[in-house]
Amino acid sequence: MKKAQTPPPERKHVQILRHSCVCKKLRLSNAKLFDMVAKGIFPKPFKLVPGGRAVGWLESDVDNYVLSQRAASTKEAA
């Protein structure tokens, strides 16, 4: 007899954003995004393929950055 299999846990959809998409989403220039990453203000991208050149950001990381900026802005206004 076969044992009943439990369904795999639900996975949340993961979206990877490339540099141009992050710039569009944040309405920043390429240079400004590179500058923010270099200064440690914005999360560093990760390599999409080991040994490759293509990099990207998780959309959730970009969204978390935006939300943290909003929270900081709200805190300063109070």
- 1 vs 65: CA distance, rounded Å: 51
Q: pTM score, two decimals? A: 0.77
All residues at 6 or more sequence positions from 23 whose CB lies less than 8 Å from its CB, including other chains? 29, 30, 33
- Asked whether the predicted pLDDT for residue 8 surpasses 90, the reply is no
* pLDDT reported for residue 75: 81
pLDDT at 9 over 80: no
Please say if the pLDDT value at position 58 is more than 90: yes
Q: Write out pLDDT tens, residues 62-73.
A: 999 999 999 988
Q: Is the pLDDT of residue 12 over 80?
A: no
